Amino acid sequence: MSVSAFSQSRVQHRDMSGINITPLVDVMLVLLIIFMVQSIPKAQAISLTLSQPGPVQKTTPPPLTLLVLGTNGMIRMEGASITVEELRGELGALKTRSPETRLALETSEEADYGLFARVLADARNAGFADVALRQ
């Protein structure tokens, strides 16, 4: 009988179909317990001095100036019509007269966006940091 190197032997090897993961689970549980014990916060007393509430002082809100942008490029400031060129001077004068004055800008959906952006830029340049927007 001849034996070939390429012939299959009749002995069948069975592959190991499962891995014993019990040691892995044991190690992971031990590590989990170690980390849980280490992460328990240490309670330390902190001395705090809290301020007591004082009497409530009522403050009056600063005056509000309303700018209205119309659909046809019209600008109204406190009910009076002004042009875009006059707006920068009016806003600067308003800020110097009354620095605490707030500004509210009311516009419609049909108003020109370019005019809206220019009015906001003029308000920022005049010193109004926050401008309330209304629709």
Which tokens hold the place of 20? 């014993």
5 pLDDT more than 60 = no
DSSP calls for 70-105 = -TTS-EEETTEEE-HHHHHHHHHHHHHH-TT-EEEE
Closest CA to 125 of 100, 77, 91, 93: 91
pLDDT by residue (tens digit) across 59-75? 888 888 889 988 888 88
Q: d(Cα 133, Cα 131) in Å, to the nearest integer?
A: 6
Domains present along the chain, CATH in parentheses: 64-134 (3.30.420.270)
Phi, psi of 92 (to 5 degrees): -65, -40
Q: What is the pTM of this model?
A: 0.54
SS3 22: helix
